[in-house]
Amino acid sequence: MDDGYTHKSYLKATPRLHDECRFEHRPLTYSEQRQIRDKISAFSGAAYAKVVAELIVRFVTKWDAKDRKGQPVPLKVANINADVEPVLIEAIASVVLRVSAPDADPLGESEVSIAPSLDAVLGDALPVDLREADDAKN
């Protein structure tokens, strides 16, 4: 969904495990987070890996994850489980589920991107107009 509301996240490389990874994901509401975490906890083994990969495919909209050979990994369940280091899968899922925070991006690209706010659309006129209206009432 391209409505301008995604989180840009970064995970730093872990030596001998995985390269750095930047990804964008849809934020979860608290209700969604609790429901998904409860559901995931009921699984183990291959079923758990599949459910976590499905979570990533559902909520991650873009990423630059690479396989062990440095090649881009398609954002698909089969590719995630076959080609992405397990520790990176868990780290991405933890950020998406808001269990842990992403790392600070050295390029400054990790941020929340939200559709323009009312202040941005209306500029400085809104606060001034509201203050003037309040002053006129008093």
Instruction: Count structural domains, the chain.
Output: 1
pTM of the model: 0.75
For residue 59, being part of any structural domain is answered with yes
For residue 116, being part of any structural domain is answered with yes
Structural domain containing residue 72: 6-137
pLDDT range class, residue 74, cuts 50, 70, 90: very high
For residue 81, being part of any structural domain is answered with yes
pLDDT range class, residue 125, cuts 50, 70, 90: very low
| Residue 123 in this model has a pLDDT that exceeds 80 | no
Q: What is the mean pLDDT of residues 125-136?
A: 46
Q: How far apart are CA 96 and CA 113, in angstroms?
A: 15
pLDDT at 130: 43
Calculate the alpha carbon distances from 68 to 25, 82, 89, 106 in Å: 23, 10, 13, 23
For residue 109, being part of any structural domain is answered with yes
For residue 54, being part of any structural domain is answered with yes
For residue 68, being part of any structural domain is answered with yes
Q: What is the pLDDT of residues 49-73, one digit of tens each?
A: 999 999 999 999 999 999 989 899 9
Q: Token digits for 125?
A: 């006129």
Longest pairwise C-alpha distance within the chain: 69
For residue 1, being part of any structural domain is answered with no
